[in-house]
Amino acid sequence: MRHYEVTDVVGRGGTVPTLYEWAGGAEAFGRLFTRFYERVAEDELLAPVFAGMDPHHPRHVAAWLGEVFGGPARYSTERGGHRHMASRHMGRALTEEHRRRWVTLLTDTADEVGLPSDPEFRAVFLYYIEWGTRMAVIYAGEDPPALDAADVPRWEWGQTPPWQPNG
């Protein structure tokens, strides 16, 4: 990273905090997804997709992204990990238009709630959001990959897991 400034980030004792820590931890991801899903409910394209959404959905998505970015394994232990997350997209018939709107709205919300805006964090954040939403469309499609017990993907600074299709 090239853009250094003093922050209140508390890390693991190493020299580089996780993406989760850098973003502000559970509080930051909770704020992001609470506000994001408020905006989704007002969005003409996305509101119907999320009609009848579990009121705890923002908390679950915050736990998912927190785990992906190096936070506690709450989604895995409380929700069933990758297999459960992927199953929530099956049969949803998500389109590229839905995906793009979701990405744009989440990016705008990240700015609104004050997620870090440094280029290094935002590059990894957006890389994951692009990858994750494309995976959601694949799982929501007509011929999704088999649900397996894959681990929740872990993204770090400059390191992302490769996607390996089943079969």
Both tokens of residue 10?
A: 């508390």
| Among 72, 89, 73, CA closest to 81 | 73
Instruction: State residue 112's pLDDT score.
Output: 98
With beta carbons less than 8 A apart as the criterion, state whether 108 and 98 touch.
no
- Residue 85: is its pLDDT beyond 90? no
19-140 has which fold? Globin-like (1.10.490)
- pLDDT bucket at 139, cuts 50 / 70 / 90: confident
The 8-class DSSP code of residue 18 comes to -
Instruction: State residue 167's pLDDT score.
Output: 44
Residue 7: φ, ψ to 5°: -135, 175
Rounded CA-CA distance 64/111 in Å is 20
Instruction: State residue 151's pLDDT score.
Output: 77
Average pLDDT over residues 29-33: 98
Query: Tens of pLDDT along 36-77?
Result: 999 999 999 999 999 988 999 999 999 989 999 999 988 778
Q: How far apart are the first and last CA of the chain?
A: 38
Q: Which residues lie closer than 8 Å to 149 by C-beta, 6 or more apart?
A: 81, 82, 83
Q: Supply the mean pLDDT for the chain.
A: 85
- pLDDT bucket at 100, cuts 50 / 70 / 90: very high
Instruction: State residue 110's pLDDT score.
Output: 98
CB-count exposure of residue 167 (10 Å: 0-12, 13-18, 19+): exposed
CA–chain centroid gap for 154, Å, is 11
